Amino acid sequence: MRPAELRTKIFLDSGDPAETRDALDMLGFLDGQTTNPTLVARNPYARQRFEKGDKFTEKEIYDFYKQVVTDISRLIPDGSVSIEVHADAATTAARMLAQGREMSGWIPNAHIKYPTTAAGLEAAAKSVKAGMRVNMTLCFTQAQAAAVYAATAGAGKGAVFVSPFVGRLDDIGQNGMDLIGNVVRMYGSGDGHVEVLAASIRTLEQFMQSLALGADIVTAPFSVLEAWAKAGKPLPDKGSSYDAGSLQRIPYEEFDLSQPWQQFDIVHELTDKGIERFGADWQALIG
């Protein structure tokens, strides 16, 4: 059962429908699931083929991804399932949009993941105008989240997610939880058309802090959802604190959300590295 006071939607971060089923059984509810190329590559069937050196063709890998999200979608038909486009540094907005259109047709409850780059934002702007739903991934700064808001202005509630990555910021010594808090605060003065999806969550503490900060959604690996379930699905106490240890704090910045998205400085090295890593994990499956 879903805790009555729980305001944040709970997503599973996984490319394996068997985990969707287990998470549903364990929690008694699940609001959605996020996938990405790395998570699909970690799916047991994909891993088995990889270990045997039995590579997929380009068509086979897309068919496999389609099957994975179709299976997930059937398990959580009222939830959201994020599907990520394949992109490298040179992929154009038109190419991303073409993939997004195709993937949107795979299941009725898709959110299409585009990277938070100029090409990704252009694809997202066109996608929401065409009635598609998007999840802007690899977000590492408040300026990128501001650009997502501006690029998708006019979209309906629930049509746009932004995914700030907590764990990967922690990996470079910055307190990723601050980014969640800053984006939630910045959007507080907006019209609510972008939902904050706390991503790259690795610990129960980060999961709990996402609830405490009022993230609209948190996505977490099965192990973190299991730890939460085992603890009795607690909600954060009022005034609960988060120990950022020696991580550098990320200060809040003032942005004008009504300015054109092209005017925000959206470059971040982790966005570029993330695109490379997702691309490499995907390509490793293809022969």
Contacting residue, 14, 33, 43, 163, with ligand E4P by CB under 6 A: 163
Residue 119 near residue 87 (C-beta atoms within 8 A):
yes
Please tell me the distance from the alpha carbon of residue 14 to that of residue 236, in angstroms, as a whole number. Answer: 24
Strands (E), the chain: 9-13, 32-34, 80-84, 110-115, 134-139, 160-164, 194-198, 217-220
CA nearest to 270, candidates 154, 166, 161, 189? 166
Smallest gap from Cβ 271 to ligand E4P, in A, equals: 12
DSSP H helical segments within 107-196, as ranges?
118-129, 142-151, 166-171, 176-187
Q: Is residue 126 at the binding interface for ligand E4P, with CB under 6 A as the rule?
A: no
- The yes-or-no answer on residue 129 being catalytic is no
Which listed residue (174, 175, 206, 219) binds ligand E4P by CB under 6 A?
Answer: 219
Window of 2-10, 64-72, 150-158, 159-167 that interacts with ligand E4P by CB under 6 A: 159-167
- From the candidates 52, 113, 230, 238, give the one annotated as an active-site residue: 113
**String of contacts with ligand E4P for each residue 38-67, x by CB under 6 A:** x-----------------------------
Q: Which segment (31-39, 104-112, 118-126, 225-233) binds ligand E4P by CB under 6 A? A: 31-39
**Closer to ligand E4P by Cβ: residue 82 or 142:** 82
Give the residue with the Cβ less far from ligand E4P, 152 or 206. Answer: 206
Tokens 């990996």 belong to 171
Tokens standing for residue 278: 């997702």
- DSSP β-ladder status, 110-115 and 9-13: unpaired
- Binding of ligand E4P at residue 105 (CB under 6 A)? no
CB of 258 to ligand E4P, least distance (A): 28
In sign, the C-alpha dihedral spanning 143, 144, 147, 149 is: negative
Contact between 185 and 213 under an 8 Å Cβ cutoff? The reply is: no
Shortest Å, Cβ 270 to ligand E4P: 9
* By the rule CB under 6 A, 13 interacts with ligand E4P: yes
The token pair at 127 is 């996608």
Which of 84/255 has CB closer to ligand E4P?
A: 84
- Catalytic sites, residue numbers: 113
Binding region for ligand E4P (CB under 6 A): 13, 34, 36, 38, 82, 137, 163, 165, 167-168, 199-200, 219
